[in-house]
Amino acid sequence: MSFVEYGDTIKDGDTAIVFLGHESMFPVKVQHGTVTQTKYGVIRHSTDLIGKKYGSKVTCSKGGWVFILHPTPELWTMNLPHRTQILYSTDISVITMMLELKPGSIVCESGTGSGSLSHALIRTVAPTGHLYTVEFHQQRAQKAREEFQEHGVEHLVTVTNQDVCKNGFGVSNIADAVFLDIPSPWEAIGHAKSALKAEGGRICSFSPCIEQVQRTCLAMEEYGFTEINTLEILLRVYNVRTISLQIPDLGKAAEDNSSTGFDSSSPSHQASPCANPQQGTVQFKSGVPLREVVGHTGYLTFATKS
């Protein structure tokens, strides 16, 4: 099993996603002899999972059923164990596009955090690219290494435990793109410039506060970056539901014609097909935004090495 290569069959040691519904799913490490408890009953890994195809419908001990899905970066973002605040698919999709990433790209990232963006970057640059990710916290760095190995992508990523603001990324003049998600990104702009290739490399900095953005933009200008721009991604989710409305009674055409003195026999004043509507209700689908939505998450600042 690998997060960048699809496999048909569930194997011992795989990470799989147990799908109970759109709002209810969780990851599980498949192990021979292990059981997993769900609200629909027990899932026995040896008989219910190992050897079955991904996407299979598995019946639990209480008679309910779940789907077992192959892991992807998108599913992992929704289900990963949170060690830090993470980036979600809305921001991740813009980051990978604006950094112009593709298979074979070399990317530097700091910090690694919970690995949400890291998995998406690895899949984007695979099979010949590489991710150099730096994490200041030693335990988080070690946990990230373990997850990358479990997910079959350790050959595509190098995890370093150090302070990027003081020691940089450990590489020079090879990166196609740099991503920063740290409290003081302006202190790492010089190291980011050193890690980027000689010309045309892209950089992105994620910051929740506009004061951080201001200082980062000033640092980017000082180090000669061009095309500096900041944007914010706001997601608005709509709830589609069925609504019933009463058909209005618009009155009779004959009464309208007599009251105005029109000749109802005249072709120009014949009753229209919508006259004399039958009283009743009509149902149709309507989309309305949710009452509570996620607001500001952070600012994305992009620039190009000149």
Residue ranges at the known binding site for S-adenosyl-L-methionine: 114-117, 135, 163, 181
Binding site as annotated, residues: 114-117, 135, 163, 181
Cβ partners under 8 Å of residue 146, min gap 6 = none
Residue by residue, DSSP assigns 167-211 as H--S--S-BSEEEE-SS-GGGGHHHHHHHB-SSS-EEEEEESSHH
The amino acid at residue 129 is G
Distance CA 36, CA 229 (A): 47
Do the beta carbons of residue 17 and residue 75 sit within 8 Å? Answer: yes
- Helix residue ranges, H only, the chain: 73-79, 89-98, 116-125, 138-150, 164-167, 189-195, 210-222, 253-260
Distance CA 229, CA 299 (A): 10
Residue with tokens 């079955």: 52
Distance CA 181, CA 305 (A): 18
Phi, psi of 180 (to 5 degrees): -120, 125
Q: What is the DSSP letter of 45?
A: I
